[in-house]
Amino acid sequence: MADAQSSSSTAGPLATAKSRWWAAGGVAALVVLWLIFAVWPDWLVAILGRKKVFVNALLNGVTLGALYFLVASGFTLIFGLMRNVNLAHGSLYLFGAYLGYEVSRITGSWLLAFPIAFLAMAALGTLLQIFVFRRLDGQDLQQTLITIGISVVLADIMLWIWGGSFYQILAPDWLSGPVETFIPSSVSRRTGELIYIKYPAVRLFILVCAVIIGVGMWYILNRSKLGMLIRAGVDDREMLAASGVRIQLIFVSIFAFGAGLAGVAGVVGGTFQSIAPGEDTRFLLSSLVVVIVGGMGSIPGAALGAILIGCAEQFGSVYAPTYSVVLTFVIMVAVLAFRPQGLLGRA
C-alpha cells in the first residue's frame, strides 16, 4: 500500500507502470493472434488439444460475449447516465425474446422480430422510467426494490402465458448453417492445403451487429453533440434544465433505448440459445457481473467485461467443466479486490 501511494505521488513511476501495462497487453494480444492464425505445432497440440477446439471456444466466447454486451450495455447505459439500477433488465430481455419468438412464428420473418421487440421493450422501459424512476427520483433503494418486484411479477406472468417449455427462434435460411472463416485449423495430410475453420453464420452476423451497436453508442455518447448534451445533463441537471433543454425527454429516451436493446438482445439470445423461464435472472446476473468487471456505467467497460466473461465461461466449459462458474467468479472477485470501480470504471 505504502509503495503504491508513494509511487503514485510522482509522475515518473506512474508513467512507466502505465507503459508496462500497455506492453503486457500488446504481448498478450500478439500471443492470442498467433494462437488464432498460426498452424499449431505438435507440442502446442499436446498441451492444449486440437486447435479447432480452442478456436471454437474462443469464437463461442466472443459471440456469447457479444450477446452479454447487448444485454449489459443497456443496463450500464442507464446506470451510467442516470444512476438508476434497473434489476428488471433481465425480464425485459426474456420478454423481448418471447415476443420475438411470437413475431417470427406468426409472420415467418426473423428480421421483423427485432424492431417489434425493440419497440415493445422501449415502451415498457418508458413506463418504468415515468412511473418508477422519475416518481422516486433520488431514492435508490426504493427504485431498485421496485424493479426487483417487477421482475418477480413479470417472470410469473411470462410463465403463465408461455409455460415452462423451451422455445427457439429460427434463423432465416441465408444465415443458417456454417460459413468458412479465414482461420486455418490444420494442414490437410492428403493435399497439403490449409483447412479453414467453419463457424455458424448467424453467430458471426450477431457479433458484427453487436460491434456496430457498441461502436455506435460509444461514438454518439463521446463524439456527437447529442452525447455532449446527455453527459452535461448527467453532471448538472439543473443547469441543463435551466438552459431550456428538455432533460426529462432525454432521460426517458435513454431509458427507452436501453430497454429496447434488452429486447433486441432477447431475440438474439432466443436465436442462438433457447428461451425458457429462468433466462431472465441468468442474463440479469451476467449483466451484473459484466458491469461489475468492466466498470459500472462504461460502454467500453461493458464490452471488455462481456468478452472476458463470455470467454471465461466458454474456455471454462471446454477445459475445466466443473469450474467454469468459479472462473467467472474469480474474475469478479479479483476485480473487486484490486479495482473496485471496475476495469474501465472511473474511480
Partner 1 sequence: MADVSEAAAPLGRFDLTRIPAHIWVIVVLLLLVPTFTSGFVQFQIFGWAFILGMISLSLMILAGYGGMVSLVQMTAAAAAGYAVAIFGASAVAEISFAWPWPVAVILAIAISVLVCVISGALAIRTEGIYTIMITLAIGSAFFYFTRQNYTVFNGFTGFNGVQPPQVFGVTWNDPTPFYYLTLACAALSYFFAVYLARTPFGLALQGVRDNPRRMAAMGYNVNAHRLAAYAVAGVISGVAGVLLVWSTGQISPNTAAIGPIIDILVITVIGGINRPIGPFVGALIYVVLRTYSLDVLTALGLDGERFKLLIGMAFLLIVYFSPDGMCGIWDRYITRLWRDPKREGADG
Partner 2 sequence: MAEAAQAPRRDVGAEFALELTGLSKRFGALAALTDISLKVRPGERRAVLGSNGAGKTTLFNCITGDFPPSEGAVRFFGEDITRFAAHERIRRGLRRTYQISLLFNGLTVFDNVYLACRGVSAGRFSMIGLSPRDPLTDAADELIEIVNLGEVRDAPVADLSYGQQRQLEIALALAGAPRLILFDEPAAGLSPKERRELIAILGRMPNHIGYVIIEHDMDVALSVSDRVTMMHNGRIFKEGLPDQIEKDPEVQALYLGSGHD
Per CB under 8 A, the segment of 2-10, 115-123, 172-180, 324-332 that binds partner 2 is: 2-10
Q: Where are the alpha helices (DSSP H) in 1-88?
A: 2-8, 11-37, 42-48, 51-82
Shortest Å, Cβ 66 to partner 2: 34
C-alpha angle 257/113/263, rounded to 5°? Answer: 35
- Residues in the interface with partner 2 (CB under 8 A) total 3
Tell which one of 5, 165, 191, 322 touches partner 2 (CB under 8 A).
5
Mark 6-45 with x for binding to partner 2 (rule: CB under 8 A) and - for no binding: ---x------------------------------------
Q: How far is the CB of 95 from partner 1 (least distance, A)?
A: 15
Question: CB within 8 A of 155, min separation 6: which ones?
Answer: 91, 94, 277, 280, 281
Residues between 166 and 195 that touch partner 2 (CB under 8 A): none
C-alpha angle 342-346-347 in degrees, rounded to nearest 5 = 85
State the minimum distance, in angstroms, from the CB of residue 333 to partner 2.
24
Quote the crossing angle between the two packed helices 247-272 and 110-128, to the nearest 10°. Answer: 140
**From the CB of 6, what's the least distance to partner 2, in Å?**
9
Interface size with partner 1, residues (CB under 8 A): 40
Complex with partner 1: residue 30 or 127, whichever CB lies closer: 127
x/- mask, partner 1, residues 295-314, rule CB under 8 A, reads -x------------------
Nearer to partner 1, 156 or 236 (CB): 156
Give the nearer residue to partner 1 in terms of CB position, either 178 or 340: 340
Here the cell at position 333 is 472477485
Q: Which residue has the cell 471496475?
A: 342
Query: CB under 5 to 8 A by kind: which of partner 2, partner 1, none does 5 bind?
Result: partner 2
Nearest in space to 335 (alpha carbons), one of 343, 327, 346: 343
Contacts with 290 (C-beta within 8 Å, 6 or more apart), sequence order? 68, 69, 72, 76, 302, 305, 306, 309
Q: How far, in Å, CA of 145 to CA of 337, rounded?
A: 26
Within 10 angstroms of residue 334's Cβ, the number of other Cβ atoms is 11
CA–CA separation, 76 and 302 (whole Å)? 7
221 binds partner 1 (CB under 8 A): no
Enumerate binding residues for partner 1 (CB under 8 A).
83, 85, 87, 140-142, 144-146, 148-150, 152-153, 155-157, 159-160, 281, 285, 288-289, 291-292, 296, 321-326, 328-329, 332-333, 336-337, 340-341
Enumerate binding residues for partner 2 (CB under 8 A).
2, 5, 9
